[in-house]
Each structure stands twice: as structure tokens, then as C-alpha cells.
Amino acid sequence: DVKVTQSSRYLVKRTGEKVFLECVQDMDHENMFWYRQDPGLGLRLIYFSYDVKMKEKGDIPEGYSVSREKKERFSLILESASTNQTSMYLCASSHPGTHNEQFFGPGTRLTVL
Amino acid sequence: ILNVEQSPQSLHVQEGDSTNFTCSFPSSNFYALHWYRWETAKSPEALFVMTLNGDEKKKGRISATLNTKEGYSYLYIKGSQPEDSATYLCAPSGTGANNLFFGTGTRLTVIP
């Protein structure tokens, strides 16, 4: 079974802190994605990566950066957390050969105080 | 970015009722259409992926149809059960794109 894991289910940070959200997939997928989900807004794409060391901005990249040093790991970084980044963060991975079907991790609920 | 619309936004039905929702998307450069079910406190889970105009997929009491020429897909649930309560997301992808474009979802609540 495809497995996508995220480092934390719940995280509480203070404004201004640097925050790392880690995502690991075990299916050798080329593509990895970070989304945030807010009530009434659905899933919004922050960044994605289609190869090691490659990254592409999604719809809402401001305030975030990413790192993909290894194929299986995709990190989302909040350089200086702000209260408006309180949200549910979901990581996903996909293989181009399966019509880009995405497999999701369990999510990290981040609260920034 | 693809403009994806799902309707209704939310729906309450009685156990045993059948229901359906709609996903609308641009028909140009269409590649595939995905449906996901997202239960509270769980990860979104893939239901169907459809690629051909006229495609119809079925999984138990849930089925979906696809019209790529006019840009819409319907998801049907026959005899809704409380365990069907979830948010149903549709996500088309365009040719040459590695990413999906998610709608805001239809939140279904099935009342016992």
C-alpha cells in the first residue's frame, strides 16, 4: 500500500517561529505536493515538486518555502510563522503514469499563536 | 489554474435516500477527472479516476459519470448510509500538468 506520512498530527507554534513540516512517501513517486485546507476554501496548492531539488509554486506560495533533497521527502517551511498560517496542511504524492492520482498523508493541524 | 465548481456546497439527506452532486470544469485540455472522499479526521481517499467522455465508474453504491465535451461529472450515491457522510472532492487535471485542481467539495451528511 502507498504510504504517505507526515511528521506531526498536531503542532502549536508561536508567531515568528520557523516551522518545518515533513512529509515522507514510500512508493518512489516523482511528484509531491503541499496543500492547506481551510473551511469553505477547499484544498489550495502551496508548492509542488516533480523531481529531487525541483520545486514549483502553487496557488498560494507566499510565506512558505519547500525543500526536496531526497525523492521520498518533501519539506514545507514557514520561515516566520504568522497567525494566518493556522490551518490543516496536507501532503500528497503521485506518479505521472497513473493519471496523476494523488495519495494523501494524514495531515498536520498547525496552530500559530 | 483550472476553475472547478462543485454543487451543492453541502447536503443533508436521510438514511436510505439516493443523492447526486455535480462537478463542473473547463472542457479544453482535459486529461483526467478524479473523485475523492474525505472523511473527518482522515486523509482524502481516491474513489474514481475517469479519462474518457461517457465513462461511468461504480464502486458499491457509489457511481460517477463523465462528460468531457461539456465539462461536467456527476457522482451518485444510492441508498445513502451514515458512513457515507464525508466531503466529496472532484479534481480535474489538464494535459501536460502534474497537478490536480481541486474543487471546494460537497459536504454530505447522512442522517440516521
CB contact under 8 A, A101 and B34: yes
- DSSP lists the bridge partners of residue B36 as B46, B89
In this structure, the number of other CB atoms found within 10 A of the CB of residue A54 comes to: 11
pLDDT score, position B68: 93
Q: pLDDT by residue (tens digit) across B52-71?
A: 999 999 999 999 999 999 99
**CA–CA distance, B7 with B78 (Å, rounded to integer):** 18
Chain A residues with CB-CB distance to B under 8 A? 4, 30-31, 33, 35, 40-43, 45, 48, 50, 58-59, 90, 94, 96, 98-107
pLDDT score, position A83: 97
Q: Calculate what percentage of chain B has a pLDDT beyond 90.
A: 77
Strands (E), chain A: 4-6, 10-13, 19-25, 31-38, 42-49, 56-57, 65-70, 73-78, 87-94, 102-104, 108-112
The SS3 call for residue A97 is helix
Residues of A in Cβ contact (< 8 Å) with B1 = 59
**CA–CA distance, A2 with A27 (Å, rounded to integer):** 6
pLDDT score, position A100: 80
CB contact under 8 A, B104 and A50: no
Q: pLDDT by residue (tens digit) across A9-56?
A: 999 999 999 999 999 999 899 999 999 999 888 889 999 999 999 999
CB contact under 8 A, A99 and B99: no
pLDDT grade for A78, boundaries at 50, 70 and 90: very high
pLDDT score, position B99: 79
Q: What is the mean pLDDT of residues A78-87?
A: 96
pLDDT reading at B75 higher than 80: yes
Report which secondary-structure segment, H or E, holds A60: none
Non-local CB neighbours of A15 within 8 Å, separated by 6+ positions: A81, A82, A83, A112, A113
Q: Between residues A46 and B100, which one has the greater pLDDT?
A: A46
Per the rule left: phi > 0, alpha: psi between -120 and 50, beta: everything else, A99 is left
CB contact under 8 A, B104 and A96: no
pLDDT score, position B55: 92
Residue A75 DSSP class: E
Mutate to test the interface with B, among A36, A99, A103, A108 (most CBs of B within 10 A): A99
pLDDT reading at A101 higher than 80: yes
pLDDT reading at B3 higher than 90: no
Burial B34-58 (b: 16+ CB within 10 A, else e): bbbbbeeeebbebbbbbeeeebebe
pLDDT reading at B95 higher than 80: no
| CB contact at 8 A, A81 and A111 | no
Q: Of the candidates A47, A41, A35, A46, which has an alpha carbon nearest to the alpha carbon of residue A6?
A: A35
- Per-residue CA distances from A72 to A9, A21, A26, A109 (Å): 19, 14, 6, 22
Mutate to test the interface with B, among A4, A10, A41, A102 (most CBs of B within 10 A): A102
Q: Calculate what percentage of chain A has a pLDDT beyond 70.
A: 98
Reading the block at residue A103, the C-alpha cell is: 495519495
pLDDT score, position A97: 75
Q: Residue B32: which of A33, A100, A104 has the nearest Cβ? A: A100
pLDDT reading at B97 higher than 80: no
pLDDT reading at A2 higher than 70: no
Q: pLDDT by residue (tens digit) across B18-49?
A: 999 999 998 887 889 999 999 988 889 999 99
- Per-residue CA distances from B36 to A77, A109, B29 (Å): 27, 20, 21
Q: What is the mean pLDDT of chain A?
A: 93
CB contact under 8 A, A104 and B34: no
